[in-house]
């Protein structure tokens, strides 16, 4: 690619992926609503609120690919979710439509299906069962992306990320964890595939105890190489195993299923 855009680049995942993206494009346009620090020689920094349509149009112009990580990433007030995850996504897709349909990787979430039980094994055809307004916003994002695909041919990878971080920190994450290396490899497959379409892809490493089936997306050639099981002994020495009745051990969405609906002030 000539220019790859990363939104949400100041966040946890964005910070982990930022340097890794240098090899994917000549130029990387780094964006967030928050401070982004200093630009590396191959980077362009753009501070932008995803809720600002005009700013998002300029942000997307000239980009050949978009790694869309920006937005509210946990349960929050609806007004905040609405601006970043609903309006922000609409702005992004309208901008992509106006600027040549750059391929998009959308960071969706396992919270689109958080109310499945941990003994359910599901694939991409399972009906959505979001576990909060945040999860609902990701369902909206997937539906919006699908509509832009059907109507305009806009390609998007809908990556339902499990828990992408350095290492699993609780028992649930032995199933949901995705390593940074595996995410980077998935990004490569998504942007290099001759034909992408608009698949749902479970963003999860090759964990022994995973709940999600990615066989429909085998055409992308993504073979995650890490396995959370390697952390089990270390984790169990530090973290008590939750009782089977606890949400953390019961629902795929874990504790998110217990979050309240936050009221506006």
Site map (CB under 6 A) of ligand 15L, residues 54-93, x = contact: -------------------xx-------------------
CA distance 222 to 227: 14
Backbone angle region of 210, left / alpha / beta, with phi > 0 → left and psi within -120 to 50 → alpha: beta
Which of 105, 219, 88, 215 lies closest to 154, judged by CA? 105
176's contact among ligand 15L, ligand NAI, none, with CB below 5 to 8 A by partner kind, is ligand 15L
- How many residues are given for the chain? 265
Site map (CB under 6 A) of ligand 15L, residues 21-60, x = contact: ----------------------------------------
Question: Which contiguous run of DSSP H or E holds residue 4?
Answer: strand 3-7
Q: For the segment 202-261, give every residue that binds ligand 15L (CB under 6 A).
A: none
CB 139 to ligand NAI: min, Å: 12
34's contact among ligand NAI, ligand 15L, none, with CB below 5 to 8 A by partner kind, is ligand NAI
Sole window of 16-24, 109-117, 187-195, 202-210 interacting with ligand 15L (rule: CB under 6 A): 109-117
Residue 180 is a catalytic residue: no
Q: Does 176 bind ligand 15L (CB under 6 A)?
A: yes
Q: Is the dihedral of CA 86, 184, 198, 124 positive or negative?
A: negative
CA distance 28 to 43: 5
Which residues pair with residue 164 across a beta bridge?
178
Q: Does 156 bind ligand NAI (CB under 6 A)?
A: no
Decide if 180 contacts 186 (C-beta within 8 A): no
Both structure tokens of 21: 């993206």
Q: Does 135 bind ligand NAI (CB under 6 A)?
A: no
For residue 255, the 8-state DSSP code is G
CB 57 to ligand 15L: min, Å: 26
CA distance 211 to 26: 37
Q: Choose which of 60, 72, 86, 201 interacts with ligand NAI (CB under 6 A).
A: 72
Both structure tokens of 154: 């806009």
Sole window of 8-16, 96-104, 194-202, 232-240 interacting with ligand NAI (rule: CB under 6 A): 8-16
Q: Which of 134, 148, 180, 219 is catalytic?
A: 134
- Give catalytic residues, as residue numbers: 134
């Amino acid at each position: 690619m000539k220019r790859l855009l990363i939104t949400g680049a100041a966040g946890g995942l964005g910070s982990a992926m930022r340097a890794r993206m240098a090899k994917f494009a000549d130029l990387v346009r780094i964006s967030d609503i928050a401070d982004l620090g200093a630009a590396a020689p191959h980077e362009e920094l753009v501070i932008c609120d995803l809720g600002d349509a005009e700013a998002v149009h300029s942000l997307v112009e000239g980009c050949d690919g978009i790694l869309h990580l920006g937005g509210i990433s946990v349960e929050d007030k609806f007004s905040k979710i609405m601006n970043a995850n609903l309006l922000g996504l609409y702005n992004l897709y309208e901008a992509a439509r106006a600027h040549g349909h750059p391929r998009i990787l959308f960071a969706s979430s396992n919270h689109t299906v958080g109310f499945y039980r941990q003994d359910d094994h599901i694939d991409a055809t399972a009906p959505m069962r979001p576990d909060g307004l945040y999860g609902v916003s990701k369902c909206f994002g997937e539906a919006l992306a699908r509509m832009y695909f059907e109507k305009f041919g806009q390609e998007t990878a809908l990556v339902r990320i499990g828990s992408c971080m350095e290492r699993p920190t609780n028992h649930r994450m032995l199933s949901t964890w995705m390593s940074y290396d595996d995410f980077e490899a998935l990004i490569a497959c998504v942007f290099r595939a001759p034909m992408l379409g608009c698949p749902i892809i479970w963003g999860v490493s090759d964990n022994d105890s995973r709940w999600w089936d990615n066989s429909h997306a085998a055409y992308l050639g993504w073979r995650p190489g890490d396995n959370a099981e390697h952390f089990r002994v270390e984790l169990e020495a530090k973290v008590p195993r939750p009782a089977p009745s606890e949400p953390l051990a019961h629902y795929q969405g874990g504790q998110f299923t217990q979050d309240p609906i936050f009221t506006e002030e």
